[in-house]
Amino acid sequence: MSSDPLVIFTPSGKRGRFAQGTPILTAARQLGVDLDSVCGGRGICSKCQITPSYGSFSKHNVEVMPDALSAWNAVEQRYQDKRGLKEGRRLGCQATVQGDVVIDVPPESQVHKQVVRKRAEARDIVLNPSTRLFYVEVAQPDMHEPSGDLERLQDALRVQWDIAHVAADLHILQTMQPILRKGDWKVTVAVNLGDAENPARIMHIWPGYYDGSLYGLAVDLGSTTIAAHLCDLQTGEVLASSGVMNPQIRFGEDLMSRVSYSMMNASGADEMTRAVREGMTALFDQVAQEAGIDAGLIVDAVFVCNPVMHHLFLGIDPFELGQAPFALATSNAMRLRATDLGLNIHPAARVYILPCIAGHVGADAAAVALSEAPDKSDDLVLIVDVGTNAEILLGNREKVLACSSPTGPAFEGAQISSGQRAAPGAIERVEIDAVTKLPRFKVIGSDLWSDEDGFDDAIATTGVTGICGSGIIEMVAEMRMHGIVDAPGLIGTTEQTGSAAVFADGRTNSYMVYDGTAAGGPLITVTNRDIREIQMAKAALYSGARLLMDKFGVDKVDRVVLAGAFGAHISTKHAMVLGMIPDAPLDKVTSAGNAAGTGARIALLNTKARAEIEQTVRAIHKVETALEPRFQEHFVNASAIPNAVEPFPILNSIVTLPTATFNTGGGDRSAAGGGRSRRRRA
Ligand code: FES
């Protein structure tokens, strides 16, 4: 057996014997230990920091002596004086092996470190960015061996970093020569490491050692808002997150009206493409400014969006998405350049757009699948991304099904008489008193209930302005729980319900939530028409989910994940009372926040996840709700609150819903069966 010293790395557990004098960085490389380096062991970058451990390690059966590593050297001292090294740290490229040693590689020295996520997530993000920095020393030109500067730079990358066949665009050639000379033939190169379709490529060159970072954008391009996370590609950290309204709203609130705009106006699609790209430019400036970085250092961007936004962003007329069979120009992932899309980031920056699942289930749903990983779930999970169009995934390790369902904008407060978007002053929580049948509520911006002392002062600046999506869900569910609305969706009279808040409103009844008219404020009520809108929206959502359950051959799911900003705010109990989602234990209904945005961030930070989602998407079974005869049947049943036929046993064990019905034969018809015709919102 070799008598060379034993080197053990933690946390990887990799070990090997190395000759005395071997730098720890070299040992790490030979064992495939994930230890970072930008300068290639020249003592410049300090990315290779390690922590040696001394003493007796019975677990590893080694004794590490105080002189197991070479003495602290001048390079380390220089770094210590300039920047400071944490107690106990050494530079892996400077410290050499002298005896058996245990070396810990701290997370910040690992290239493929795990990125911390805010909640217990379905999956970890391992950092594996598209573009990394490499410091190289380039051979100087020689009259006797004529070769181009680029060729010698390529040689340096191959020899010093094992990166072969690296390409360079014209803009690199245009700027490279003075940089090489300014850096005295020592330069830092940002290299996009390429993928299945593209070779490695030089993105940028700095003279000498570049001490900064590289950045990337994860963008969730929604029909209402565009949200961007600016991430540091070396640490995975989100440096700034921001959003702007999608400027396309002026061409239509929902996607179908934008598709119609493009159909009716010859240059409509172009105008909308221009608008969304302008919005993007403003947003990117904003996040770069917030993070205090130069937008020119953003070298990678990942986009997720629904199919219509996908086409409009790419400058493709969405005409075909407006009519059956809803053919996408392409459903594959796209790898483009920022310049193709007129984006104001690094001119060589790469753009990755996640694949679409189908003509109406977009890259945003693919991003949700990447973030929530139903294909890796042991239990059967239903994932619902609630928006104007609900995207629904159902699956486990066995298979994953997907569909979309046209919920319409009611859950966002639109088409509701007192509805509004979630903003300060909007009612977001509601409770109805079991005895008086009168409401109390909370508004966004205050923690107080409307009947608590200090409420008026707390809302003095915002006022009470309307009801947002989560508020209307609680409102209708509470009305149902307290016998103000019956199962078919009719509001009873004061006599029938025992509530003084009910008043006759034309041929139907309405429910008074807040009367601010005396002080010049709004009159906030829930009309029977509002109840109908919510019934239609929730029936569309439920029947999509139910259809996937039929296809899967199940009557219940193990857990439900609500994705999207809206999902984060709704009360699961109230959602269940409404019958929005299938019956499930309340503690098995969780919110995933902006899962599409998280999926975009995963694809940005880990290029391996891109190939993975492309494969996952290919395996997802798409279900077209419009073609399924049972969809209409489920829709009609789901129009009742919670449902005309489904038993909801778990819900019934928690709440007892009144059984009285208010339809006495005249007046308003019951909602069940009276649904509006379905309208596709691609
Ligand atoms: S590898 Fe750069 S300082 Fe050690």
The reply to whether 145 falls in a domain is yes
CA-to-CA distance for 155 and 153, rounded, in angstroms? 5
- Contact between 681 and 408 under an 8 Å Cβ cutoff? The reply is yes
Q: What is the mean pLDDT of residues 586-597?
A: 89
- For residues 288 and 387, membership in a common domain is answered with no
Our separate counts of H helices and E strands in the chain read 18, 31
Residue 112 pLDDT grade (very low, low, confident, very high; cuts 50, 70, 90): confident
pLDDT (mean) for 382-388: 85
Residue 203 lies in a domain: yes
Q: Which of 29, 80, 91, 186 to mutate to test the pocket of ligand 1 (most atoms within 8 A of CB)?
A: 91
Which structure tokens are listed for 264?
Answer: 């009716």
Is there a single domain that holds both residue 542 and residue 646?
A: yes
- 390: helix, coil or strand? strand
* Whether pLDDT at 404 is above 50: yes
Looking at the structure, do residues 278 and 219 belong to the same domain, yes or no?
A: yes
Environment class of residue 413 by beta-carbon count within 10 Å: exposed (0-12), middle (13-18) or buried (19+)? buried
- Judge whether 668 lies within some domain: no
pLDDT of residue 116: 59
More confident: 76 or 570: 76
Do 173 and 274 belong to one domain?
Answer: no
Would you say residue 672 lies in a domain? no
Question: Which domain does 558 fall in, by range?
Answer: 368-409+533-654
Residue 485: the pLDDT is: 97
Instruction: Specify whether 462 is located in the same domain as 580.
Output: no
Nearest to 24 by CA among 13, 10, 39, 35: 35
Q: 327 lies in a domain?
A: yes
Alpha helices (runs of H) in 325-460, residue ranges in sequence order: 363-372, 455-458
Cβ neighbourhood burial of 162 (10 Å; 0-12, 13-18, 19+): exposed
- Model confidence pLDDT, tens digit, residues 219-274: 998 877 888 999 999 999 999 998 888 877 777 767 777 777 777 888 888 888 88
Q: What is the mean pLDDT of the chain?
A: 89
Asked if the structure places residue 399 within a domain, the reply is yes
Band the pLDDT of 675: cuts 50, 70, 90. very low
Residue 26: what residue type? T
Residue with tokens 């997150």: 241
Ligand 1 atom nearest residue 75's Cα: 3
Same domain, 425 and 517: yes
CB of 127 within 8 A of CB of 113? yes
Distance 406 CA to ligand 1 centre (A): 55
Beta bridge partners, 7, equal: 16, 101
Nearest ligand 1 atom, CA 135: 2
Please check whether residues 440 and 349 belong to one and the same domain.
Answer: no
- The pairing of beta strand 62-64 with beta strand 49-53: unpaired
Going by alpha carbons, the residue nearest to atom 1 of ligand 1 is: 41
672 pLDDT higher than 60:
no
Structure tokens at 480: 């149902």
What integer pLDDT is reported at residue 126 of this predicted model?
87
* Domain edge (last residue) among 109, 144, 167: 109
Asked whether 216 and 605 are in contact (CB, 8 A), the reply is yes
Element (DSSP H or E) covering residue 381: strand 381-385
Does 513 reside within a domain?
Answer: yes
Kindly state the average pLDDT of the residues 560-574.
Answer: 85
Here the CATH number for the domain that contains residue 299 is 3.30.420.480
From 164, 183, 207, give the residue that closes a domain: 207
CATH number of the domain where residue 197 is located: 3.10.20.880
What's 73-107 look like in SS3?
A: CHHHHHHHHHCCCCCCCEECCCCEECCCEEEECCH
Q: Are 190 and 132 in contact (CB under 8 A)?
A: yes
How far, in Å, CA of 279 to CA of 570, rounded?
29
Q: Using the 8-state DSSP alphabet, how is residue 419 labeled?
A: B
The number of CA neighbours under 13 Å toward the Cβ of 615 is 7
Q: Which amino acid is at 635?
A: F
Provide the pLDDT for residue 181.
97
**DSSP helix/strand/coil, 139:** coil
295 shares its domain with 399: no
Mutate to test the pocket of ligand 1, among 35, 45, 69, 105 (most ligand atoms within 8 A of CB): 45
Asked if 472 and 465 touch (Cβ cutoff 8 Å), the reply is no
Nearest protein Cα to ligand 1, atom 2: 45
Which atom of ligand 1 is closest in space to residue 92's alpha carbon? 4
Contact 109, 50 (CB under 8 A): yes
Report, as an integer, the average pLDDT of 554-558: 95
Ligand 1 atom with the shortest distance to the CA of 91: 4
Dist. CA 420–CA 467, nearest whole Å: 6
pLDDT at residue 670 in the model = 41
From the CA of 512, how far away is ligand 1's center (Å)? 69
* 444-503 confidence digits (pLDDT tens): 999 999 999 999 999 988 899 999 988 999 999 999 999 999 999 999 999 999 999 999
Rounded to 5 degrees, φ, ψ at 251 are: -95, 0
191 within a domain of the structure (yes/no): yes
Query: What's the 3-state SS for 477-532?
Result: HHHHHCCCECCCCCECCHHHHCCCCEEEECCEEEEEEEECHHHCCCEEEEEHHHHH
pLDDT value, residue 521: 86
Q: Yes or no: say if 104 and 64 are a contact pair by the CB < 8 Å rule.
A: no
Q: By mean pLDDT, which of 125-129, 535-539, 634-638 is the weakest?
A: 125-129
* Residue with the larger pLDDT of the pair 124 and 93: 93
CA of 94 to the centre of ligand 1 (A): 8
What does the CA dihedral 543, 544, 548, 553 come to, rounded to 10 degrees? Answer: 0
Q: Answer for the pair 133, 189: CB distance below 8 angstroms, yes or no.
A: yes
Asked if the model's pLDDT at residue 143 lies above 90, the reply is no
Regarding whether 327 and 276 lie in a shared domain, the answer is: yes
**Do 90 and 15 share a structural domain?**
yes
What gap in Å lies between CA 195 and CA 352, rounded to an integer? 11
Distance between CA 598 and CA 592 in Å, rounded? 9
Same domain assignment for residues 303 and 390: no
Segment 83-93 mean pLDDT:
92
- pLDDT over 90 (residue 594): no
Q: How does residue 657 score in pLDDT terms, banded at 50, 70 and 90?
A: very high
Do residues 283 and 185 both lie within one domain? no
DSSP annotation of 676 reads: P
Contact predicate 632/664, CB 8 Å: no
Angle between helix 595-605 and 363-372 (nearest 10) = 80
pLDDT above 70 for 5? yes
Residues 6+ apart with CB under 8 A from 179: 187, 205, 206, 207
Tell me which residue of 74, 70, 66 sits closest to 25, measured CA to CA.
Answer: 70
So what's the pLDDT on residue 617? 93
Residue 682 has pLDDT above 70, yes or no: no
Q: Is the preceding omega at residue 642 within 30 degrees of 0, hence cis?
A: yes
d(CA 397, CA 600): 22
Domains held by the chain: number = 5
pTM of the model: 0.83
Does the CB atom of residue 46 touch ligand 1 within 6 A?
yes
Substitution candidate for ligand 1 out of 26, 29, 48 with most atoms within 8 A of CB: 48
In terms of Cβ atoms closer than 10 Å to its own Cβ (0-12, 13-18, 19+), residue 117 is middle
Q: Is the pLDDT of residue 671 over 60?
A: no
**Coil/strand/helix, residue 622:** strand
Smallest CA-to-CA distance from 421 within 309, 253, 266, 578 is with: 253
